[in-house]
Copies of this chain bind each other. A is one copy, B any other.
């Protein structure tokens, strides 16, 4: 293997830069030329491909976002688009690919590999932690800590005014962020898509709070089946029906995607990036490099995409017990 390329795709996640750095430097260390593709699959199609050196990735390990930019590509969903992408890669002599992203990224990579056969390894870059084949995804730990810091701040003001706060965190199909920052933030309730949300229980509990004299934090994953935080707050408020209680909603939004990555995310990103390049050298392909139980593991794209990672059951129990 003489030349490889790396790109980021899908929603950006803190730690993607640390992963790019690891890919670039491991490749150079192993005597492989490395190219960066900007704007994901669109950039592949358009030939936005440039040689990277060791210094190209200096001073980026601590930065959020991605120096290779990211995008979601419509063209790559077509055979024609993928053919163009292949032609571009061929013209550069690319013999291996590292794809940093989530489920959508890997789905594209799998199709592309099966059609054109360029060896490809993925790295799990998404804040949602919803990818099978790795205990944690790159960006998850940072997103949770960002959400947690926000909850800590909101608790200050909730406590000062005895308010009931519904805080919406990211997670369309996954409650991982909600659960971890709910435990860490000492939330009274956490509502996630994986389990049925029992609003009656919440209403009953809030009614029992001493008259307008105590604050509560309720963390809602954006994909909860009862609706977003605003909707859920309205339902609960109507049923609690107590003028002395103040209900507030905060939607944390895109701050969860940015920020300097935590130590955990930088280390994970570095390990996955190195493992992706080592994997390509050792003949692995059509799979993702993740970390399971502390060790690097390669899992087929097929499994990453089709299998789901369950929430830890004891985590929801933890919240119930610790919020008494």
- A residues apposed to B, CB below 8 Å: 8, 12, 14, 16, 18, 21-22, 25-26, 28-29, 54, 59, 61-66, 69-71, 135, 141, 144-146, 148, 150, 152-162, 165, 180-181, 183-186, 248-255, 257-260, 262-264, 266-267, 270-271, 274, 293-294, 296, 312, 314-315, 318, 321-324
In the assembled complex, 22 residue pairs joining A and B whose CB atoms fall closer than 8 Å, in A order, are: A12-B160, A12-B161, A14-B156, A25-B322, A26-B322, A61-B184, A64-B153, A65-B156, A65-B157, A69-B160, A145-B262, A146-B153, A153-B254, A158-B254, A183-B270, A252-B255, A267-B315, A270-B318, A271-B318, A274-B321, A293-B293, A296-B314
Is the CB–CB distance between A157 and B253 below 8 Å?
no
A156-B263 contact, Cβ under 8 Å, with A162-B69, A293-B293: no
**Could you say how many copies of this chain the assembly holds?**
4
Which residues of B are found within 8 Å of A158, using beta-carbon distances? 254
Is the CB–CB distance between B29 and A324 below 8 Å?
yes
A255-B12 contact, Cβ under 8 Å, with A263-B181, A270-B318, A274-B322: no
Say what secondary structure dominates the interface of chain A: helix
Complexed CA–CA distance, A16 and B161 (Å): 13
Task: Closest B residue to A62 by CB, please name it.
Answer: B152
Which residues of B are found within 8 Å of A293, using beta-carbon distances? 293-294
A259-B12 contact, Cβ under 8 Å, with A274-B322, A318-B271: no
